[in-house]
């Protein structure tokens, strides 16, 4: 059971989910505009490279962010990278859903930083909820599949003892509700 939980945690890792979502949205909405694709995936790679560097210099003990305090620098960098990504996507007039999702990544990551100073919230569940909302609002209506992905990830994080039930529940509810309101009312129906 442990190995299956590790597999699902890796497959549904925030980096993979972010990269897949932005690639899908960019490829389907921009007529394969490679500049917009590049802009939309660059923040994810910058976070990944930053994590590798922070681990290399000893500022991060593992890639899962097991120690709550060690997450703060990487989360701060994520806020900056995604904020810049949003500004570039807006400047180059990318589709609203792509701009909006990048905005969600920046703002919601800033909120996660505040939460993380006091409490460990599940970044894995946050990293899945927002992209699923963006895909839903973009017309991909697969509620059973989406629900199963969320439940599977939550159970995986619990089996691995990475989080408590409250941490995965709050992470899921936070990401879905905040992403929905931000995307719908700030970007799609303005």
* Average of per-residue pLDDT across 59-86: 90
Does the structure show a pLDDT above 90 at 67? no
* Average of per-residue pLDDT across 60-70: 81
* Average of per-residue pLDDT across 125-140: 97
Model confidence pLDDT, tens digit, residues 38-58: 999 999 999 999 999 999 999
Does the structure show a pLDDT above 90 at 157? yes
Q: What percent of the chain is predicted at pLDDT more than 90? A: 91
Specify the pLDDT at position 154. Answer: 97
Q: What interhelical angle do 123-137 and 143-159 show, nearest 10?
A: 180
Model confidence pLDDT, tens digit, residues 9-36: 999 999 999 999 999 999 999 988 999 9
Number of domains in the chain: 1
Contacts of 55 (CB under 8 A, 6+ apart): 61, 62, 63
Does the structure show a pLDDT above 90 at 70? no
For residues 159-177, one letter each, b for 16 or more C-beta atoms within 10 angstroms of the residue's C-beta and e for the rest, the string is ebebbeeebbebbbebbbe
Specify the pLDDT at position 69. Answer: 82
Closest of 54, 79, 48, 78 to residue 67, by C-alpha? 54
Specify the pLDDT at position 32. Answer: 84
Cα(89)–Cα(37) distance, integer angstroms = 10
Range of the domain at 181: 2-188
* Average of per-residue pLDDT across 136-145: 96
Specify the pLDDT at position 2. Answer: 93
Specify the pLDDT at position 190. Answer: 61
Specify the pLDDT at position 81. Answer: 98
* Average of per-residue pLDDT across 82-105: 97
Specify the pLDDT at position 31. Answer: 86
Q: In this structure, are residues 54 and 45 in contact, taking their beta carbons and an 8 Å threshold?
A: no
Does the structure show a pLDDT above 80 at 187? yes
């Amino acid at each position: 059971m442990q190995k299956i939980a590790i597999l699902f945690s890796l497959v549904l890792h925030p980096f993979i989910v972010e990269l897949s979502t932005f690639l899908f949205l960019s490829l389907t909405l921009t007529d394969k505009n490679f500049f917009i694709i590049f802009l939309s995936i660059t923040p994810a790679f910058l976070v990944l490279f930053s994590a590798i560097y922070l681990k290399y210099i000893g500022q991060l003990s593992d890639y899962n962010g097991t120690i709550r305090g060690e997450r703060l620098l990487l989360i701060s960098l994520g806020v900056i990278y995604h904020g810049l990504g949003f500004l570039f996507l807006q400047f180059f007039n990318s589709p609203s859903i792509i701009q909006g999702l990048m905005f969600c990544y920046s703002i919601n990551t800033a909120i996660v930083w505040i939460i993380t100073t006091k409490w460990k919230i599940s970044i894995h569940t946050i990293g899945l909820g927002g992209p699923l909302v963006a895909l839903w609002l973009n017309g991909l209506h697969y509620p059973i599949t989406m629900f199963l992905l969320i439940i599977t990830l939550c159970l995986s994080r619990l089996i691995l003892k990475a989080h408590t039930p409250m941490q995965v529940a709050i992470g899921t509810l936070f990401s879905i509700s905040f992403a929905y309101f931000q995307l719908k009312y700030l970007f799609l129906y303005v």
